[in-house]
Structure 1
Amino acid sequence: MDLFDVTIIGGGPAGLYSAFYSGLRNMKTKIIDVQPILGGKVNTYPEKVLWDVGGLPPMQAQQFVQNLINQANTFLPTICLNTKVEQIEKHGDIFVISTNSGEVHYSKTIIVAVGGGILNPIKLEIDCAKKYEKTNLHYTISGLERFRNKKVLVSGGGNGAIDWAVELLLVANEVVVIYRKDQLTAHESQVEKLKEHGVQIMLNAEIQDLISNEDKTAIEEVVVSQNGDTYQLQVDDVLISHGYNREVSLTFADDIKPLLKNDYYLVSQGQCKTSVPGIFGAGDIISYDDKVGLIVGTFQDAVLAVNNAKLYIDPQADQYAMVSSHNEKFNEKNRELLKEIFYKA
């Protein structure tokens, strides 16, 4: 039996930073993630520029994720991708984690860091929509360049949709936004950017039909209904941003079910402990008073979860890790970095 000190379920920012910090605390660490790549929800907006992470210059999300992955690998955790946790039980002092592959994992503690869960985009409910997903109907954007000099219709009015519409202004020839409600719900500053650029915004509007090009391979026109009227808009691409279906999908044995609050794990503030001893939480999946719903808040969750997992295993352990500037685990790495800086100078 290969027994780990901590198994982190989820490979987004919370899980990745938990893996780094648990390595710093000399814990044998494993990450299990259902996706084929690490990074979690941040991978759904790879070219979005992040401004609000302390100490980092503005950078695209894809670079930020790569930095997190590099940091998480500092202490060489075991990483299992394409692996869905299906059942968690406890046998004595050991958590037994069963997965969709049939493999079983064993751990002294667990950190649940599944973010918003498994996110599947809400699809456009039009019979012919699926066949265009291989050409010009999109549910996310993996690169802006393909939209250069195109006319793009964005359907949705939340933060995701409007953020994408703003990003598309950098490359697209024209952006049109339609939304089924009478007011956009995105951040006001982003909405103002669209208005400043003269973007056509159609409220109380929905897609009724998609009209294909001559060879039936791509969308050429979108039929939009608005307040009882119907319009046909010529487009090059269509982006649907109607939100996600969220599947948390962790099943616990009856005797170890953590408390939930509106589908989020309720943890003790300042400790990230769930109601089950040995199971901790970090990131978007947990709820507590005054929680900060930002990436920077995720990092604090990770530190608290790891520290308390360490104390659960060894009540005599230090309450937290020695700061990195003094930690002996970094002595050799610091020398290598300083040598590299010296030679570059």
Structure 2
Amino acid sequence: MNESMELYDVTIIGGGPAGMYTAFYSGMRDLKTKLIEAKEELGGRMLIYPEKMIWDVGGVTPTLCRKLIDQLAEQARTFDPTIVFGQQIVHQARQEDGTYILTSATGEQHWTRTVILTIGYGILQMAKLEIEGADRYEVTNLHYTVQELEPFRGKRVLISGGGDSAVDWANELEGIAASVTIVHRRERFGGHEKNIARMKASSVDVRVPFAVSQLHSSNGEQIDQVTVSHIESGESEQLEVDAVIVNHGLKSDFGPLKDWGLDMGEWWAKVSNRLETNLPGIFAAGDFVDYDSKVRLIAGTFTDAVLALNSAKLFMDPSAEKVAYVSSHNDRFKEKNKALGVVDDH
């Protein structure tokens, strides 16, 4: 162990919504906190759909995902945690005193009393369109995510996919694009019911069960026609397009984390109702976990963060309060309230 390493109470691995809120709540509990993110920015999976509107976070009116990321990141920094970017943690080693040394893929080490894993689905990659030569169009008009809506204004857009993001993009583009067609291999869509109903009631051309079978280009640089084929009959039709968006899901890779000895399924770590993993001092929250009452919404992620952090606090100090005082009574906010011009009479 490097003697110059600083010991932290809590080290959070993963900078998505679960990680960011855990960092904030850790500050509420007066813990020395570090957050480590493999990418060069916070946001996690939310970075895939920055232009989507987020409706289902309590107390937050419809907000662009990009703005919600910024707000969560600002909140995460409230108590000045150490935030480290560009490091993928690949190894953990429990020391004789019960602390952990975490090592990144590039060799950096971090020393901590407890660990909270908020890594979502690990390193994510978009599932590509399985048509030979499709990759040549990725630099022009074949897209696997929508970063901005404006480039699609007035265009004929075809979306391939049937999950939440595909449905959301169809709804968001319907009032911007000249036309929107969505093709899905199954009769049923996998998104939220209300969003599916909205899409079907709009001008979006819904084709099920269909799949993209060929891409056509008159100049070899961009797609101008797409052949879609009926899954059962094989009947095909060519559609004129200006842009193609593919949302066939995500491929997950947990890398060396699979070798840590965690009790894991294919997608999730199994945790207790207190968000404890099977490894002492290691807790988890967010999309990475599974337990009986798990809620797979951003709102549910915040509860996970609180439960995991409280468990970490009690692991270090069994005599500690089980939860933090609410912000209106938490001493950690007194000076911050003053800075905001709020007078506390209590």
Tell me which interval the TM-score lies in, with the shorter structure as reference length.
Answer: over 0.9
Contact 2:170 2:204 in 1 (8 A): no
What's the CA shift for 1:261? Answer: 3.9
Once residues 64 and 134 of structure 2 are traced to their aligned partners in structure 1, the CA distance between those partners, rounded to angstroms, is: 30
Aligned: 1:229 with 2:235: yes
Match of 1:134, SS state, is coil
Contact 1:87 1:252 in 2 (8 A): no
Gapped regions of structure 1 (runs ≥ 5): 341-345
- Residue 109 (structure 2) aligned to one of 104, 107, 130: 104
Where does 1:179-258 land on structure 2 (aligned, <5 Å)? 179-214=184-219, 216-226=220-230, 227-251=233-257, 257-258=261-262
What's the CA shift for 1:325? Answer: 1.1
One-letter amino acid of the structure 2 residue matched with residue 317 of structure 1: A
What's the CA shift for 1:192? Answer: 2.3
One-letter amino acid of the structure 1 residue matched with residue 168 of structure 2: D
Partner residue of 2:178? 173
Once residues 207 and 184 of structure 1 are traced to their aligned partners in structure 2, the CA distance between those partners, rounded to angstroms, is: 16
Once residues 140 and 18 of structure 2 are traced to their aligned partners in structure 1, the CA distance between those partners, rounded to angstroms, is: 34
Which region of structure 1 is more displaced relative to structure 2, 237-246 or 161-170?
A: 161-170
Match of 1:210, SS state, is strand
One-letter amino acid of the structure 1 residue matched with residue 88 of structure 2: K
- Cα 1:115–1:252 change in 2 (3 A) is closer
For residues 68-96 of structure 1, what are the alpha-carbon distances to aligned partners after superposition, in whole Å with 9 as ceiling and x for unaligned?
Answer: 00000111111122211111121221211
Aligned: 1:320 with 2:323: yes
Once residues 11 and 41 of structure 1 are traced to their aligned partners in structure 2, the CA distance between those partners, rounded to angstroms, is: 9
Match of 1:180, SS state, is coil
Match of 2:257, SS state, is coil
Aligned: 1:275 with 2:289: no
Partner residue of 1:15? 19
Once residues 95 and 268 of structure 2 are traced to their aligned partners in structure 1, the CA distance between those partners, rounded to angstroms, is: 25
For residues 148-179 of structure 1, what are the alpha-carbon distances to aligned partners after superposition, in whole Å with 9 as ceiling and x for unaligned?
Answer: 11110000112221111111112111001111
Partner residue of 1:343? none
Once residues 52 and 177 of structure 1 are traced to their aligned partners in structure 2, the CA distance between those partners, rounded to angstroms, is: 24
Partner residue of 2:340? 337
Q: Which runs of 4+ in 1 moved over 4 A?
A: none
TM-score by length of 2: 0.92
Contact 1:221 1:234 in 2 (8 A): yes
Gapped regions of structure 2 (runs ≥ 5): none
TM-score by length of 1: 0.92
- Identity level (%): 44
Partner residue of 1:94? 99
For residues 86-117 of structure 1, what are the alpha-carbon distances to aligned partners after superposition, in whole Å with 9 as ceiling and x for unaligned?
Answer: 11121221211111111111111000111122
One-letter amino acid of the structure 2 residue matched with residue 101 of structure 1: T
Once residues 177 and 160 of structure 1 are traced to their aligned partners in structure 2, the CA distance between those partners, rounded to angstroms, is: 12
For these two proteins, the number of residue pairs brought into alignment is 336
Once residues 64 and 70 of structure 1 are traced to their aligned partners in structure 2, the CA distance between those partners, rounded to angstroms, is: 10
Match of 1:251, SS state, is helix
Partner residue of 1:291? 294
Partner residue of 1:6? 10
What's the CA shift for 1:244? Answer: 0.5
- Residue 160 (structure 1) aligned to one of 165, 173, 176: 165
Partner residue of 1:24? 28
Contact 1:166 1:194 in 2 (8 A): yes
What's the CA shift for 1:188? Answer: 3.1
Once residues 258 and 265 of structure 2 are traced to their aligned partners in structure 1, the CA distance between those partners, rounded to angstroms, is: 16
Aligned: 1:124 with 2:165: no
Give the CA RMSD over aligned residues: 1.8
Aligned: 1:142 with 2:147: yes
Contact 2:124 2:253 in 1 (8 A): yes
What's the CA shift for 1:217? Answer: 2.0
For residues 185-216 of structure 1, what are the alpha-carbon distances to aligned partners after superposition, in whole Å with 9 as ceiling and x for unaligned?
Answer: 333322322222232222232222212242x3
One-letter amino acid of the structure 2 residue matched with residue 17 of structure 1: Y
One-letter amino acid of the structure 2 residue matched with residue 131 of structure 1: R
Once residues 13 and 185 of structure 1 are traced to their aligned partners in structure 2, the CA distance between those partners, rounded to angstroms, is: 23
Where does 1:46-65 land on structure 2 (aligned, <5 Å)? 46-65=50-69
Contact 1:88 1:252 in 2 (8 A): no
For residues 230-253 of structure 1, what are the alpha-carbon distances to aligned partners after superposition, in whole Å with 9 as ceiling and x for unaligned?
Answer: 222111100000000011234376
- Cα 1:337–1:213 change in 2 (3 A) is farther
- Cα 1:244–1:328 change in 2 (3 A) is same
Partner residue of 2:74? 70
